[in-house]
Structure 1
Amino acid sequence: METGPLSRHIADAARELQDETDAQATLDKAVGLAVRLVGAAEDAAISLVHRGGRIDTPAATSDVARRVDKLQYELDQGPCLDAIRKEELVLAPDLATDTRWSQWGSRVASETGIRSMMCLRLFTYAHTVGALNLYARSRNAFGRDDIEQGQALAAHAAVAVVGAQRIDQLSVALDTRTVIAQAQGILMERYRFTADQAFNVLVRVSSQANAKLRDVAIELVETRRTPGHKPPEPP
């Protein structure tokens, strides 16, 4: 069966997203693809949900998009927040007159020139990742084709972002284990500690210095000195 232009474009976009293994690179790629594929979109950004509920914009195609999002977070109102919290798709045909976010919308229209938005939730079955936010300077900019393109891209972007985040987390965990092992080795060689004794020393120094274990290990590996510069006592 022959596929149409939209299917081919989305398939190409999915492959481009999957080629990125770094979370930030995946986010940057996603907003670039959004402007390229969604005809009415002049700018794009991604709102990302972090642990504890904090939301920020780690990727955007312009400072204007970042400004629009920042105002949403400051005022705690706007379509991207509604897409994350309430509805999978939120359309804002005219921000200057929309009563759903009257304080935010009027400021955005007057301060940035953005008049309409489309926000799509980024989610998998297990996680709400954030929202893909699309911006235009004309009213009623986003039509049926834009919605279909945006929804298809958002689905692929959510899966790609979650996958890249997991790779980043595994990479950080591996790096942490490696640097802690290096720090243990230094203490074992210098003070004739066992591996367990060396690890317990690192934990004790971490607690006394109110610092993360990884940071204590990095300092020891880089400077060859333990915090406080005193030979540690074995536990």
Structure 2
Amino acid sequence: MSPSPLSDPSGLAALSDELGHLLRAEAASLGDVVDVAAKWVPGTAGASITSYRGAHFTTDAATDERVRRADALQYDLGSGPCVDAVLDDAIYHPDDLLTDGRWPEFGSRVAHEEGYRSLLSYRLHTGIDEVVSGLNLYADEPGAYDDTSVARGLLVATRAAAVIAGRKMSHLQKALESSRDIGAAVGVLMSAHKVTREQAFDLLSIASQRRNRRLRDVAAEVVESGWLQQRSEGAQA
């Protein structure tokens, strides 16, 4: 039973209940997370999750195309609350994008082109070194977000990070269970390179992509040879 509005005036306990239920679902997705954010953070017109991989920003989930366009504008400019929250490991909360002097070009364009005036951006702490992510909440009105909104958004950000980390670990676990060679190769790489299990799996995955070979075939080669070949035969430097 969810807490009543009188016993939970900030809505945090009820939001936590819904997020907890979401995380217990095997099919939980980042799309579900942004939908919950838009529902539970008052004033939110749209929400998204940004990832930063290999010096490139992408939107992994969004409530609608309008949000995706606003995210893309930040990526193109290389400036905005979303970009800076991810890079600076901070929370950014501009009350009015049209007048905030920190992101003048983005603020003016997103206000006039997409109609957004307020934004909440959070860095997501997933524990995955190679991928940095952020949660973005867009509002149509200036001053849309108060302290309660910021607290609710932070709770959503915390659970979003758990979903991302869980998906990563689930993918790793399924791969290890599907092939004894993959598990053995991960062990070889952990010992040889003094890396974690997740990092060793990433090394295998990168080699598989670069060489256009199945992961299990690359793993079998590592088990046999004791080392990991990154480049395909005949590749040019």
Q: Same fold by TM-score, threshold 0.5 exceeded? A: yes
Q: Over aligned residue pairs, what C-alpha RMSD do you find?
A: 3.0
| 1:59-208 equivalence runs, <5 A | 59-124=61-126, 129-172=132-175, 174=177, 177=179
Cα 1:116/1:173, change in 2 over 3 Å: same
Q: Contact 1:39 / 1:146 at 8 angstroms: preserved in 2?
A: yes
Q: Contact 1:9 / 1:37 at 8 angstroms: preserved in 2?
A: no
Q: 1:11 aligns with which of 16, 20, 30?
A: 16
Cα shift at 1:88: 2.4
The alignment status of 1:42 with 2:45, answered yes or no, reads: yes
Q: Secondary structure in 2 aligned to 1:90?
A: coil
Cα shift at 1:136: 0.8
Cα shift at 1:106: 1.1
Cα shift at 1:15: 1.6
1:68 counterpart letter in structure 2: A
Higher Cα Rg, which structure: 1
Cα shift at 1:54: 2.6
Cα 1:123/1:44, change in 2 over 3 Å: same
The separation in 1 between residues aligned to 2:128 and 2:161, in whole angstroms, is 11
Q: Contact 1:90 / 1:118 at 8 angstroms: preserved in 2?
A: yes
Cα 1:124/1:94, change in 2 over 3 Å: same
Q: Contact 2:181 / 2:216 at 8 angstroms: preserved in 1?
A: no
Q: Secondary structure in 1 aligned to 2:212?
A: coil
Cα shift at 1:173: 5.2
1:19 counterpart letter in structure 2: R
Cα shift at 1:80: 0.7
How many equivalent pairs are there? 186
Deviation sequence 1:173-210 (CA, Å, 0-9, x none): 555x3899xxxxxxxxxxxxxxxxxxxxxxxxx99x95
Q: Contact 2:12 / 2:152 at 8 angstroms: preserved in 1?
A: no
Q: Contact 1:47 / 1:55 at 8 angstroms: preserved in 2?
A: yes
Partner of 2:212: 211
TM-score (norm 2): 0.68
Quick check: 154-163 or 30-39, which moved more? 154-163
The separation in 2 between residues aligned to 1:32 and 1:101, in whole angstroms, is 27
The separation in 2 between residues aligned to 1:81 and 1:173, in whole angstroms, is 34
1:213 counterpart letter in structure 2: R
Cα 1:54/1:171, change in 2 over 3 Å: farther
Cα shift at 1:148: 1.1
TM-score (norm 1): 0.69
Identity across the alignment (%)? 32
Q: 2:35 aligns with which of 22, 27, 32?
A: 32
Q: Contact 1:21 / 1:167 at 8 angstroms: preserved in 2?
A: no
1:138 counterpart letter in structure 2: E
Cα shift at 1:43: 0.7
The separation in 2 between residues aligned to 1:125 and 1:213, in whole angstroms, is 27
